[in-house]
Amino acid sequence: MESLIEDDTHGSLIVDIITNNSKYYDIYYAAAMDSTLTGEIKDVILSIDWCIQNNVDVICMSFATLKDDKELKDKIEEAIDKEIIIVASCINNSELTCYPAMYDGVISVSDGINTNASISFDYENMEDYMSCSELTAYVCGRITNELSKGNNDVFEILKDIREN
């Protein structure tokens, strides 16, 4: 499948993984970081706000920060209150507390190292995906694929992802 993004960036890889796992869902790309994967939390907040205003169903946050930011947390809580599913990465090969993955209500994705994550993967079973960001995109794709089939039970979807 051809990428929705013109360049070869972290974002294009994430979009490709999502689209390869979810064939029947519209994907909107809201970049909050530059090509060096550097960004400001204020830009993430603006992206989440755009998602809220446009009634998206799932937000894929394939990045992590060590900074616990009250404004980011509040915006994520607002999105969750609007019944938006948020999936976020833990930091690769780390047990550090990272955000937004560890905020209440966020589905956090780990490479098997962070035991506080909502869902962790053993690389032997997920050898095509080598980072938490890629695993997060995989989970988002699977969630949106199930939503498109009418399965709205996120807990059931996560259980299926863990088992398969």
Give the model confidence (pLDDT) of 80-131 as tens digits. 999 999 999 998 888 889 999 999 999 999 888 888 888 777 656 666 667 8
Rounded Cα gap, residues 142 and 164, in angstroms: 11
Average pLDDT, the chain: 83
Please say if the pLDDT value at position 3 is more than 60.
Answer: no
pLDDT value of position 76:
97
* Confidence grade of residue 23 (pLDDT, cut at 50, 70, 90): confident
Assigned token pair, 68 = 């616990």
Q: What is the DSSP letter of 9?
A: S
- Tell me the CA distances in angstroms from 2 to 7, 9, 144, one per residue in order: 11, 14, 19
Assigned token pair, 147 = 């939503």
pLDDT value of position 17:
86
Domains of the chain and any CATH numbers: 10-163 (3.40.50.200)
Task: Give the residue from 76, 117, 77, 121 showing the smallest Cα distance to 97.
Answer: 117
pLDDT value of position 8:
54
Rounded Cα gap, residues 37 and 95, in angstroms: 21
Q: What is the DSSP letter of 101?
A: T
Residue 63 and residue 91 in contact, taking contact as beta carbons nearer than 8 Å: no
How buried is residue 134: exposed, middle or buried, by Cβ count under 10 Å (0-12/13-18/19+)?
Answer: buried
